[in-house]
Amino acid sequence: MSESAYRGEMLFDEPLARYTTWRVGGPARRLFRPADSKDLVQFLQSLPQDEPLLWLGLGSNLLVRDGGFEGTVILTRGQLDGMELLDDNRVWAEAGVSSAKLARFTAHNGLCGAEFLAGIPGTLGGALIMNAGAFGGETWDWVEQVETVDRSGEVRVRKPDDFSIGYRKVSGAEGEWFLTAILKLEPGDGEAGLAAIQELLDKRNATQPIGLPSCGSVFRNPEGDYAARLIEQTGLKGTCIGKACVSEKHANFIINTGGATAAEIEELLQLVREQVEKASGVHLISEVHIVGEEAAA
């Protein structure tokens, strides 16, 4: 596709550490910032069917290996970030909108239900992909419909019934990515909603290592228990491999203390899983999506 055929920005050999919350990751062969959804559709229509694609929002819950990504990264954050109040209790938003920004927007418009999104360190697109949740709320509890796009650029409208939705997982409509969503919320007290958001943020700041590079929670909570409790019980708080460490503040966070590599983080993630299973018999399931190539020896 010629550069004149799209309006967005194309970067080559772009270091992905700049775009991930862990601040690690090798270069993407190409990184595309679409001007808008129409530009994205046109770009997708131009791609070879076998081109590897990686959709990237805020880069949380993502570990890009040190060898980088041999394909095209599509960056949605700061690009596909439109929001609109449709009527008294429905909000339309694009996939690149940050979850926290969406939470504040709904509260400012006197809508309740999405306050928990303030505690999700990612975009709406990522929240839809994994049914992200925090403090008792889950994304798909409020979804009325979504728009998806496939790699050939075809846009479809889908309902929640088109997907199988569970705890931190969503399946269905394979080969499609989320473009937009309409959330149907409850009318309520906007001031109370904003206060609830601040309370959630204060709780998060008090219990999580905010301000240090991490990906958010590393493992899903097993049914009836908490991953952090199992990790702490195993004595792994503060354990480090290189510059990657299990947080002393919250055991379900792995932090980059400065200069960690993706390989160190991945090795520590595996160590934690193995040690917890050995100690308690529980196999922790990672929330982290690991992509890319290992660095050349």
Q: Which backbone phi and psi does 45 adopt, to 5 degrees?
A: -65, -25
Residue pLDDT, tens place only, 154-192: 999 999 999 999 988 899 989 999 999 999 999 988 899
Fold classification of 83-207 is 3.30.465
pLDDT at residue 73 is higher than 60: yes
Contact 107, 194 (CB under 8 A): yes
Residue percentage of the chain with pLDDT more than 90: 84
Q: Tokens standing for 45?
A: 């229509």
Contact 114, 182 (CB under 8 A): no
Residue pLDDT, tens place only, 229-275: 999 999 999 999 999 999 999 999 999 999 999 999 999 999 999 99
Residue pLDDT, tens place only, 125-148: 999 999 988 878 899 999 999 999
Fold classification of 3-75 is 3.30.43
Is 217 considered catalytic here? yes
d(CA 114, CA 252): 24
Contact 157, 145 (CB under 8 A): yes
Hey, is 85 helix, strand or coil?
strand
d(CA 99, CA 131): 12
Q: What is the reported pLDDT for 190? A: 86
The pTM of the whole model exceeds 0.85: yes
Identify the weakest region by mean pLDDT among 1-5, 96-100, 293-297. 1-5
Residue 2 pLDDT class (50, 70, 90 cuts): very low
d(CA 160, CA 175): 17
pLDDT at residue 200 is higher than 90: no
Closest CA to 16 of 296, 264, 293, 253: 293
Closest CA to 250 of 268, 271, 232, 264: 232
Residue pLDDT, tens place only, 13-33: 999 999 999 999 999 999 999
Is 287 considered catalytic here? yes
Residue whose pair of structure tokens reads 């409509």 in the numeric block: 173
The active-site residue out of 23, 168, 204, 229 is 168
Residue whose pair of structure tokens reads 């409850």 in the numeric block: 186
CA-CA distances (angstroms) from residue 227 to 52, 61, 152, 238, 287?
32, 16, 39, 15, 11
Strands 169-171 and 137-138: unpaired
Residue 1 pLDDT class (50, 70, 90 cuts): very low
Q: What is the reported pLDDT for 297? A: 66
Q: What is the reported pLDDT for 152? A: 93
Q: What is the reported pLDDT for 5? A: 77
Contact 77, 232 (CB under 8 A): no
d(CA 212, CA 8): 31
pLDDT at residue 101 is higher than 90: yes
pLDDT at residue 3 is higher than 60: no
Contact 220, 287 (CB under 8 A): yes
Mean pLDDT along residues 204-215: 91
| Chain mean pLDDT for the chain | 93
Mean pLDDT along residues 47-68: 94
d(CA 91, CA 185): 8
Contact 139, 31 (CB under 8 A): no
The active-site residue out of 217, 264, 273, 286 is 217
The active-site residue out of 14, 176, 264, 287 is 287
pLDDT at residue 119 is higher than 90: no
Contact 252, 209 (CB under 8 A): no
Contact 25, 17 (CB under 8 A): yes
Q: What is the reported pLDDT for 267? A: 98
User: What is the domain partition of the chain in residue ranges?
Assistant: 3-75, 83-207, 227-291
Fold classification of 227-291 is 3.90.78
pLDDT at residue 276 is higher than 80: yes
Q: Tokens standing for 186?
A: 């409850």
